[in-house]
Amino acid sequence: GVLHYEHAYSQAAFNADDPVLLKRDEVAPPERTLFLTVEGFGDCSFTLTPHLSPLQVRLTRHELALRVARMKRGWEGVIQEVKSDDDKRRSFHEQVQKIALNKRRVLWEKARGRDIVTINCEAVKGAAPQGKYQHLLEKHYDREQKFQRVRNF
């Protein structure tokens, strides 16, 4: 005889912790062992040959409708999915932190270890009208100081 076993959910299944419908085509049952019992008379020999092959999971109409609704929602659906799933939220926050650290590292490398905020403030001071006025005022004040030193000499 032939025994045929498929390690997959045969019907729509719900998560044990919360009532969320599992994606049967992506998640396998948690069981890892298969026990077989064979009963026979006299001397018997058995050959067990497992075959691994791709599995086709036929989704129900309800599962297909949920999947289509999820695709139609677009980015709003993705945000709702990230908000509702703790693992996805955690991985999203880790990804954002990695991007922020990478961005800081790139800025630090561009500035060659100098403080970019101070450099930008100095650049803006020279370009803004108030900064130009301040620069002319300081230049005039320095010139006056030089003339007074010459006069008093």
pTM for this one?
0.33
How many whole angstroms separate alpha carbon 15 and alpha carbon 33? 20
More confident: 92 or 23: 92
pLDDT at residue 93 in the model:
93
Task: Report yes or no: 46 and 38 within 8 Å, Cβ to Cβ.
Answer: yes
* Tokens read off for 52: 């691994």
Q: Which helix (H) or strand (E) holds 11?
A: none
pLDDT at residue 131 in the model:
73
How many whole angstroms separate alpha carbon 70 and alpha carbon 60? 15
CA 141 to chain CA centroid, nearest Å:
57
pLDDT at residue 99 in the model:
92
Average pLDDT score over residue span 124-131: 73
**Residues with Cβ within 8 Å of residue 71, at least 6 apart in sequence:** 77
- Residue 19 pLDDT exceeds 50: no
Average pLDDT score over residue span 82-88: 85
Q: Give per-residue pLDDT as tens, 20-52.
A: 566 666 666 667 777 777 777 778 777 777 777
